[in-house]
Amino acid sequence: MRLLHTMLRVGDLDRSIQFYTEVLGMKLLRRKEFEEGRFTLAFVGFQAEDEGSVIELTHNWDTDEYEQGNAYGHIAIQVDDVYEACKLIHQKGGEIIREAGPMRGTNSILAFVKDPDGYAIELLDER
């Protein structure tokens, strides 16, 4: 068994694809429209789907925004240098919601970024 993908519902698919590809550096792996169901799926990731887990961005054509509720936490991404990643994300227009720095009580360095729909993404160093 292996983890295939995590699905996020997004209000503006093109804006979300731009964020995940241009700001976070993922690749658009595939995109497919389902006219009868009135939705589009786009899969983004750092690796091909057969090599690692990816994110499925689901856009329901008749829904522009979603309420996240209080159960969602975050997606975590490992980066070589959290400080440098935050600098690059900021330069590309990404929103940093917790600047890079040590996690209380540990040696780990982390930061949090918000995607266009408000989903939190944690950036972690390799420790």
Q: Note down the domain range covering 13.
A: 5-60
Q: What is the pLDDT of residues 34-89, one digit of tens each?
A: 999 999 999 999 999 999 999 999 999 999 888 888 888 999 999 999 999 999 99
65 tagged catalytic: no
**Domains identified in the chain, total number:** 2
Pair (20, 49) in one structural domain: yes
Pair (42, 89) in one structural domain: no
Q: Which of 113, 93, 123, 97 minimizes the C-alpha distance to 15?
A: 93
- The answer to whether position 22 is within a domain reads yes
Question: Residue 15 maps to which CATH number?
Answer: 3.10.180.10
pTM: 0.91
Q: What is the Cα 31 distance to its own chain's centre?
A: 16
Predicted confidence band of residue 107 (pLDDT cuts 50, 70, 90): confident
Pair (20, 54) in one structural domain: yes
Catalytic residue among 67, 84, 122, 126: 122
Phi then psi dihedrals of residue 50, to 5 deg? -80, -5
